[in-house]
Amino acid sequence: MSAHQKRNSKTALMVSISLAFIIMGGSGAQLETQLLTDYLASKIGSDLVAWSLPMEETGLDEYQMRMFLDKVMVDNPDYIKNYTFISRGTSLGYPYNKIRISPLC
């Protein structure tokens, strides 16, 4: 058995590297799938889209819109299933005092 020890260690190393590659490939594919799903949900994930015009400095009144949509969801659950807000980019040069980042879900 000692004669095959070097060969067995090379085989064990090859199996370990192969298994690590398979796990990394699988997790990378799963991450890419989730990324694509989230991207599509953010771009076309709603029946109702409200845009603020680029020349507006204040943007949309998200608080009032949330209150209205939450009330509609409670009063008529069949009308709105869910909603989300997407902000414009902060690199547009508008004066932002606070930036709050949160997940979509």
Same domain, 74 and 38: no
Q: pLDDT band for 4, please (50, 70, 90 cuts).
A: confident
Same domain, 67 and 30: no
Same domain, 37 and 85: no
Number of domains in the chain: 2
Same domain, 41 and 51: no
Structural domain span for residue 1: 1-45
Same domain, 60 and 87: yes
**Phi/psi-derived region of residue 11, left when phi > 0, alpha when psi is between -120 and 50, beta in every other case:** alpha
What are the tens digits of pLDDT across the range 14-67? Answer: 999 999 999 999 999 999 999 988 887 777 666 666 666 666 666 677 888 889
Query: For tokens 């990324």, what's the residue?
Result: 35
Same domain, 41 and 53: no
Look at the chain and count its residues. Answer: 105
Mean pLDDT to the nearest integer, 1-22: 87
Quote the tokens at residue 5. 């020890």
**Contacts for 88 with CB less than 8 Å, ≥ 6 apart:** 52, 54, 59
Q: In whole angstroms, what is the distance from residue 30 CA to residue 32 CA?
A: 5
Same domain, 58 and 94: yes
What are the tens digits of pLDDT across the range 85-98? Answer: 766 555 555 555 55
C-beta separation of 69 from 84 below 8 A:
no
